[in-house]
């Protein structure tokens, strides 16, 4: 029974897997740039319309190392990435890492607050919809389904129309004050809450059928007590596992939400860079988001492997 | 956010013991409502003039920005055009993008999922890693990556959405195929001495048909949402096309003054997603009852 090496092996395998994913993401994005029709040197000088001279193109090519063989460029890119250098933005001509560093805090704040709010709503909804009674189940199930189906841009528009334009309680744009954070966070949290609630309810219902739930009831635990003290933990584990995905999803949602609420951040930077076809900037932001995703996923997996004895034998996640 | 992602992600929720998502029964009333909405969409695609109350492209500058009223159910836009009629007119274009993106995603997902489930351990491992890499681009990030490389527009947006949904399909289809491969009836066929090709055609494919049809139904809702998100951001279909996403994008400028320009086209997207989710679930539940 006592195999202390198992968790360690799980963790090492998990870290190796994470390193592979990051390397693959970097490689994929690098070769994607070079497969695309169009000359990067031209893009740096403002696109095909700029009619850049041959000398200018040559100068840019040597400046950005574009005259090197592809393999050498690839090696140089990997070397730079390891040191945290994400390259130079085509449109801003500044370091991508600096821009990302300046914008990431606001977006992560938004994502973390939205995740917390989504958890609160989801636990409430899941507890409600696992309650006995067909009406409660149907109504809460309908709310979960609808919440999960709401696109961010639509929800944001409705919230602005009701709470900013209509009632005037909250500002329609994020002006730096805490009140400006409310609508963006709610917009991001509601669809995620519907999603998490559906997931939690599934696992809650499964847990409630387990012998430990029956024995707790037999010991005199109430229906609510069984849910709160026993079943909820089991229902929360899969949702915790999805934290990395949830944060990534929220950052992706921030592209829309930050644009609508005129809030500076990674999402808006990403959209601007996409519009300007600023390839290094988009690559940089996507790489950083992938890094955030991978790190959170690994941390939650490792913590789960250390905490939950059942996982030590399960090997790596798929 | 959709049922499709829920299934793809729930299947991947860590390495713990995972109860399969239940084959939930769908209330009959919900199924009927969903079917009624799909019927409305079908008429809007085939014969939009039957539902329109005005010419969707008739400009009436004096009637610009009128809020919803009995004359204009969904109000009028900046040129005085009837928003309701434009929403009806835009149904076919919006659904076409959703259906095409779903077809691309599902075809890729089927190929990857089938290779992973039935192609041996090495392929399964390799495709599993590819999927893991693609999942590191959450939400519409993969789509943005495709768009920055190939430029914005409806075609790129469709391909981009198709590509971003493929890993989810692949993961779910692999799971479905594995459960069929390990089922009692396939084992029975093998014991009877039937060959691999015959088992595939007679047992695996017919049993995979309904789950895949359910996935496709669920997927259309997600594809419509993602494609319209891209259009809303100005990266997909462009105004003045009466496509829902493009209408949303045009209405974005007036978000604080004329909410109806974005709320009603968006409502169509919400209802489409809800209807496809309900119908996809109903299909899955029927399939579960059959097994």
pLDDT digits (tens, 9 = 90+) for A147-200: 888 888 888 888 888 887 777 777 777 766 777 788 899 999 999 998 888 888
CB contact under 8 A, A242 and B9: yes
**Cβ neighbours of A294 in B, within 8 Å:** 136
Q: Would you place residue A13 in the very low, low, confident or very high pLDDT band (cuts 50, 70, 90)?
A: confident
Token output for B251: 């209405």
Average pLDDT over chain A, rounded to whole?
79
User: Residue B241: its pLDDT value, please?
Assistant: 73
Nearest to B233 by CA among B262, B260, B257: B262
Please compute the mean of the pLDDT values over residues A17-38 and round it to a whole number.
Answer: 79
pLDDT-derived band at A317 (thresholds 50, 70, 90) equals: very low
In this model, does residue B193 exceed pLDDT 50? Answer: yes
Report pLDDT for A2.
46
* Lookup: tokens for B72: 């204009």
Which 3 state secondary structure label does DSSP give B54?
coil
The average pLDDT across A309-316 equals 54
Averaged pLDDT score across all residues of chain B: 81
pLDDT value at position A124? Answer: 87
Q: Is the pLDDT of residue A42 over 90?
A: no
Q: Higher model confidence: residue B232 or residue B16?
A: B232
Provide the pLDDT confidence category of residue B82 given band limits of 50, 70 and 90: confident
Give me the pLDDT at residue B100, please: 93
More confident residue, B58 or B277: B277
Residue A1 confidence class, pLDDT cut points 50, 70, 90: very low
Range with the poorest average pLDDT among A168-182, B14-28, B213-227: B14-28
* This prediction's pTM: 0.81
Instruction: Write the DSSP symbol of residue B76.
Output: B
**Nearest residue in chain A measured CA to CA from B258:** A161
Measured between beta carbons, which residues in chain B are less than 8 angstroms from residue A238? 10, 13-14, 16, 18
In the structure, what pLDDT confidence band is assigned to residue B20 with cuts at 50, 70 and 90?
very low
Residue A294 has pLDDT above 80, yes or no: yes
Percent with pLDDT over 70 in chain B: 90
Burial string for B108-117 (b: 16+ CB within 10 Å, else e) reads: bbbebbbbbb
Mean pLDDT of the B278-288 span: 79
Query: Contact B1/A195, CB-based, under 8 Å?
Result: yes
Q: How far is CA B50 from the centre of its chain?
A: 26
Alpha helices in chain B (DSSP H): 3-11, 28-46, 83-89, 91-118, 121-135, 141-150, 154-181, 184-191, 196-199, 205-232, 244-251, 260-290
Q: What is the mean pLDDT of residues A79-93?
A: 79
Q: Is A118 on the interface with B (CB under 8 A)?
A: no
Does pLDDT of B263 surpass 80?
yes
CB-based contact (8 Å) between B161 and chain A?
A: no
pLDDT band for A50, please (50, 70, 90 cuts): low
Query: Is residue B105 very low, low, confident or very high in pLDDT (cuts 50, 70, 90)?
Result: very high
Classify burial at B124, counting beta carbons within 10 Å of its beta carbon; exposed 0-12, middle 13-18, buried 19 or more: middle
Distance from C-alpha of A293 to C-alpha of A299, rounded to nearest angstrom: 10
Q: Which residue among A138, A279, A282 sits closest to B27, beta carbon to beta carbon?
A: A138
pLDDT, position A315? 45
Is A93 buried (19+), middle (13-18) or exposed (0-12) by CB count in 10 A?
Answer: exposed
Q: How far apart (Å, rounded) are the C-alpha atoms in residues A277 and B159?
A: 17
Question: Which residues fall within 8 angstroms of residue B1, CB to CB, at 6 or more apart?
Answer: A148, A149, A150, A191, A192, A194, A195, A249, B225
Please compute the mean of the pLDDT values over residues B155-175 and round it to a whole number: 88
ipTM for this model:
0.80
120-179 in A: which are within 8 Å (CB) of B?
138, 142, 145-146, 148-154, 157-158, 160-161, 164-165, 172
> d(Cα B91, Cα B225) in Å, to the nearest integer?
13
- In b/e form, how buried is each residue of A147-180, taking b as 16+ CB within 10 angstroms? bbbbbbbbbbbbbbbebbeeeeebbbebeeeeeb
* B150/B157 Cα distance (integer angstroms): 10
Question: In the structure, what pLDDT confidence band is assigned to residue A212 with cuts at 50, 70 and 90?
Answer: confident
Which residues of chain B lie closer than 8 angstroms to A274, CB-CB?
144, 147-148, 152, 235
Q: Give the tens place of pLDDT for each residue, A231-265.
A: 777 777 777 878 878 888 888 888 889 888 888 88
| pLDDT category of residue B15 using cuts at 50, 70 and 90 | very low
Q: What is the mean pLDDT of residues B196-221?
A: 84
Q: Which two tokens stand for residue A253?
A: 């949602």
| Amino acid B261: pLDDT | 83
With cut-offs at 50, 70 and 90, classify the pLDDT of residue B283. Answer: confident
Q: How confident is the model at residue A307 (pLDDT cuts 50, 70, 90)?
A: low
Residues 242-281 in A contacting B (C-alpha not used; CB under 8 Å): 242, 245, 248-249, 251-253, 255-256, 259-260, 270-271, 273-275, 277-279
Q: pLDDT-based confidence at A144, cuts 50/70/90?
A: confident
- Using CB atoms and an 8 Å cut-off, which of residues 168-227 of chain A contact chain B? 172, 191-192, 194-195, 198-199, 202-203, 205-206
**Higher-confidence position of A315 and A234:** A234
Q: Taking 70 as the threshold, does the pLDDT of residue A4 lie above it?
A: no
Residue B218: CA count within 13 A, CB half-sphere:
26
Q: What is the pLDDT of residues B111-148, one digit of tens each?
A: 999 898 888 888 888 888 888 888 888 778 888 888 87
Distance, CA of B291 to chain centre: 26
B116 touches chain A (CB under 8 A): no
Residues 6 or more apart in contact with residue B76 via CB below 8 angstroms: B60, B63, B64, B65, B66, B82, B83
pLDDT of amino acid B252: 77
Looking at the predicted structure, is the pLDDT value of residue A291 above 80? yes
Are B252 and A260 inside 8 Å of each other by CB?
yes
């Amino acid at each position: 029974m006592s195999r202390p090496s198992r968790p360690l092996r799980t963790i090492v395998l998990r870290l190796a897997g994470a390193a592979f994913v990051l390397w693959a993401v970097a490689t994929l994005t690098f070769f994607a740039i070079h497969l695309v029709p169009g000359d990067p040197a031209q893009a740096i000088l403002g696109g095909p319309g700029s009619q850049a001279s041959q000398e200018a193109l040559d100068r840019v090519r040597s400046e950005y190392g574009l005259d090197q063989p592809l393999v050498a460029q690839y090696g140089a890119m990997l070397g730079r990435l390891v040191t945290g250098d994400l390259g130079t933005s085509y449109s801003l001509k500044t370091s991508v890492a600096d821009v990302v560093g300046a914008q990431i805090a606001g977006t992560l704040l938004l994502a973390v607050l939205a995740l917390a709010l989504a958890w609160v709503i989801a636990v409430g909804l899941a507890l409600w919809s696992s309650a006995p009674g067909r009406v409660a189940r149907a109504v809460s199930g309908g709310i979960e389904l609808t919440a999960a189906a709401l696109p961010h841009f639509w929800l944001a528009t409705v919230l602005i129309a009701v709470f900013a334009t209509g009632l005037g309680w909250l500002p329609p744009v994020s002006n730096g004050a805490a009140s400006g954070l409310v609508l963006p966070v709610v917009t991001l949290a509601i669809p995620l809450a519907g999603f998490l609630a559906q997931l939690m309810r599934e696992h809650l219902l499964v847990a409630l059928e387990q012998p430990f739930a029956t024995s707790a009831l037999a010991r005199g635990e109430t229906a609510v007590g069984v849910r709160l003290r026993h079943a909820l933990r089991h229902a929360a584990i899969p949702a915790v596992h999805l934290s990395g995905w949830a944060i990534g999803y929220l950052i992706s949602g921030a592209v829309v939400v930050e644009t609508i609420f005129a809030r500076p951040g990674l999402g808006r930077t990403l959209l601007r860079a996409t519009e300007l076809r600023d390839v290094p900037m988009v690559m940089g932001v996507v790489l950083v988001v992938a890094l955030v995703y991978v790190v959170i996923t690994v941390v939650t997996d490792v913590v789960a492997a250390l905490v939950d004895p059942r996982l030590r034998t399960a090997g790596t996640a798929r | 956010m959709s049922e499709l992602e829920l299934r793809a992600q729930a299947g991947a929720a860590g390495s713990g013991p995972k109860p399969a998502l239940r084959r939930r029964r769908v209330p009959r009333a919900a199924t009927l409502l969903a079917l009624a909405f799909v019927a409305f969409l079908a008429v809007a695609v085939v014969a939009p003039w039957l539902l329109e109350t005005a010419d969707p492209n008739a400009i009436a500058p004096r009637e610009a920005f009128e809020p919803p009223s009995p004359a204009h159910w969904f109000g009028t836009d900046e040129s005085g055009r009837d928003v309701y009629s434009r929403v009806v007119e835009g149904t076919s274009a919006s659904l076409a993008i959703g259906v095409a993106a779903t077809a691309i995603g599902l075809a890729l997902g089927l190929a990857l999922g089938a290779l992973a489930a039935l192609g041996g351990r090495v392929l399964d491992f390799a495709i599993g890693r590819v999927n893991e890499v693609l999942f590191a681009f959450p939400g519409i990030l993969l789509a943005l990556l495709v768009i920055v490389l190939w430029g914005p527009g409806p075609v790129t947006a469709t391909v981009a959405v198709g590509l971003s949904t493929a890993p989810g399909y692949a993961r779910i289809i692999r799971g479905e195929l594995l459960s069929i491969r390990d089922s009692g009836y396939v084992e029975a066929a093998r014991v009877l001495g039937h060959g691999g090709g015959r088992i595939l055609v007679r047992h695996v494919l017919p049993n995979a048909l309904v789950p895949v049809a359910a996935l496709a139904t669920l997927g259309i809702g997600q594809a419509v949402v993602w494609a319209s998100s891209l259009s809303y951001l100005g990266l997909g279909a462009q105004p003045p096309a009466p496509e829902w996403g493009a209408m949303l994008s045009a209405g974005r400028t007036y978000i604080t003054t004329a909410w109806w320009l974005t709320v009603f086209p968006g409502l169509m997207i919400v209802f489409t997603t809800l209807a496809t989710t309900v119908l996809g679930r109903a299909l899955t539940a029927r399939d579960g009852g059959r097994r």
